[in-house]
Amino acid sequence: MVLEMLLVFTLGASVGSFLNVCIYRIPAGQSVVSPPSHCFACGEKLGLVDLVPILSYFYLRAKCRRCGEPFSGQYPLVEFITGVLFALVLLRFGVAWETLAGWVFVSVLVAVTVIDIHHRIIPDKIVIVGVVLGLPLVALQSWPTLWSGLAGFVAAGLFLLVIAVVSRGGMGGGDIKLAALMGLYLGLQNVAVALFLAFLVGGVFGIFLLVTGLKGRKDAVPFGPYLALGGIAALLWGSQLVKWYLSFWQ
């Protein structure tokens, strides 16, 4: 089991390495396949050894070996988090289509979170890829899962659309599309858990930022990261959270 977890962590960290490429290039409108990874400052191409997730960052001592340009600590962080999430998804679902779907889902959420924090946008491209991959992966699980996913897609999308209209722009188009995608992967019940958690954590943190004066009333705060957080929690522990919540009412 330890060996399997280590392998899956490595797989996740490697996917995280690709997500780093997406995170930098997609908002800039660049291709994610070419040119190969290189130093932004001097253009030095990164060799195979330099691309080993997490370890290469420390091996290169966080800088380009040719020009000394520092590399962001965000690279190993994204790789590490993606690796941990891949292992958690396998622990939760075992060898099943759910795991494959879960890996795609968490990858989308990691990329979207970092991009939304930096640019305040959720690129359509990522959401579309997520939906296109999600449909067959959800359908392969079972018919009820597919129906629940489609219902979740519509319901979560509509719910955020209504909030966007009522709050007059407090919620962006990207948030609406991301919520719909989450509905597809999570199904109706778990996407409700995800949205509840997103608004709860987002609301509490928003009040904290206002009270401490770190943000003003007019400052836009990206909501994508909260959606992603709720989505990951609901994927891994959704049914337990529902049971736990219901136990209060019995």
Binding of Zn ion by 41 (CB under 5 A): yes
Rounded to whole angstroms, how far apart are CA atoms 48 and 41? 19
Number of residues that bind Zn ion (CB under 5 A): 8
Nearer of residues 6 and 41 to Zn ion, judged by Cβ: 41
Report in angstroms how near the CB of residue 82 gets to Zn ion at its nearest.
25
In the complex with Zn ion, the residue whose CB is nearer, 66 or 118, is 66
CB of 46 to Zn ion, least distance (A): 10
Q: Of 50-58, 64-72, 200-208, 217-225, which segment contacts Zn ion by CB under 5 A?
A: 64-72
Gyration radius from the chain CA atoms: 19
Quick one: which of 19, 26, 39, 104 contacts Zn ion (CB under 5 A)? Answer: 39
Closest CA to 198 of 244, 151, 147, 159: 159
CB of 60 to Zn ion, least distance (A): 10
Pick between residue 59 and residue 208 the one whose CB is nearest to Zn ion. 59
3-state secondary structure of 35: coil
The least CB distance from residue 80 to Zn ion, in Å, is 23
Between 71 and 105, name the residue whose CB sits nearer to Zn ion. 71
Q: Is 62 in the site for Zn ion (CB under 5 A)?
A: no
In three-state secondary structure terms, 38 is: strand
Nearest approach in angstroms of CB 35 to Zn ion is 14
Alpha-carbon distance of 87 to 11, in angstroms, equals 9
* Interface stretch with Zn ion, choices 9-17, 33-41, 218-226, 242-250 (CB under 5 A): 33-41
Among 6, 32, 67, 117, binds Zn ion (CB under 5 A): 67
Buried b (16+ CB within 10 A) or exposed e, 6-19: eebbbbbbbbbbbb
Cβ count within 10 A of residue 229: 18
Place of tokens 């957080």: 229
Contacts of 9 (CB under 8 A, 6+ apart): 83, 84, 86, 87
Binding site for Zn ion (CB under 5 A): 39, 41-42, 44, 64, 66-67, 69
